[in-house]
């Protein structure tokens, strides 16, 4: 049964994800810093690691939201997109974020482990990988295998805003408040 006052653990997890996404969107700048580009020879790895941190923060928030609603989740679930989908099925609310979170996972791994060079498509044998950020026309961008995965400061800010939006919607879902998506 949802309570009117969310537990402090849920509030902390929500705040951590929002702070982390804000920090990454500013190009790893601290409070009050102006946005700047993440540059240098390890740029892809730094951004990939930042995206891994956001995914970890979201995973923790999903766990706290489940606890808040009394929903048991499998221990050690590391795939955040699947964990969120499982929670939303239990809550009987839509999950519009799954495909994008899966694409972000592939993009994050490409940046961190392959220095941004796309080594495989979305599925075995596919010639392109879907990124977790939008391209021309509003669809998630696709990058051919062998090409460099480019993420601009604008793209990174969009991804960070996406994580903040999920955090806010998930907080409402955990509290049992209609978030306008059902």
Per-residue pLDDT of the chain (182 residues; tens, 9 = 90+): 444 678 999 999 999 999 999 999 888 776 666 666 777 778 899 999 999 999 999 999 999 999 999 999 988 889 999 999 999 999 999 999 999 999 999 999 999 999 999 999 999 999 999 999 998 888 999 999 999 999 988 899 999 999 999 999 999 999 886 444 43
Residue at 127 is within a domain: no
Domain membership of residue 44 as a residue range: 8-96+151-175
Q: How far apart are CA 155 and CA 161, in angstroms?
A: 10
Given a contact cutoff of 8 angstroms between Cβ atoms, the answer to whether 122 and 129 are in contact is: yes
Total tally of structural domains belonging to the chain: 1
Residue at 105 is within a domain: no
Residue at 87 is within a domain: yes
Eight-state DSSP code of residue 140: E
Residue at 102 is within a domain: no
The model carries a pTM of: 0.90
**Cα dihedral 15, 27, 40, 102 in deg (nearest 10):** 50
Residue at 169 is within a domain: yes
């Amino acid at each position: 049964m949802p309570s009117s006052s969310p537990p402090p653990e849920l509030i902390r997890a929500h705040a951590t994800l929002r702070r982390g996404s804000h920090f990454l969107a500013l190009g790893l700048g601290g409070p009050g810093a102006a946005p700047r580009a993440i540059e240098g020879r390890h740029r892809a790895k730094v951004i990939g690691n930042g995206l891994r941190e956001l995914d970890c923060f979201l995973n923790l928030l999903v766990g706290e939201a489940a606890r808040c609603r009394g929903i048991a989740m499998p221990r050690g679930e590391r795939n955040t997109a699947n964990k969120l989908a499982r929670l939303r099925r239990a809550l009987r609310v839509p999950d519009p974020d799954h495909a994008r979170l899966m694409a972000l996972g592939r993009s994050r791994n490409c940046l961190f482990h392959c220095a941004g060079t796309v080594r495989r498509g979305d599925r075995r044998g596919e010639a392109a990988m879907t990124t977790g950020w939008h391209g021309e026309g509003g669809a998630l961008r696709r990058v051919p295998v062998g090409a460099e995965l480019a993420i601009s400061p604008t793209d990174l800010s969009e991804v960070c805003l996406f994580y903040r939006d999920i955090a806010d919607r998930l907080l409402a879902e955990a509290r049992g408040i209609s978030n306008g998506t059902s």
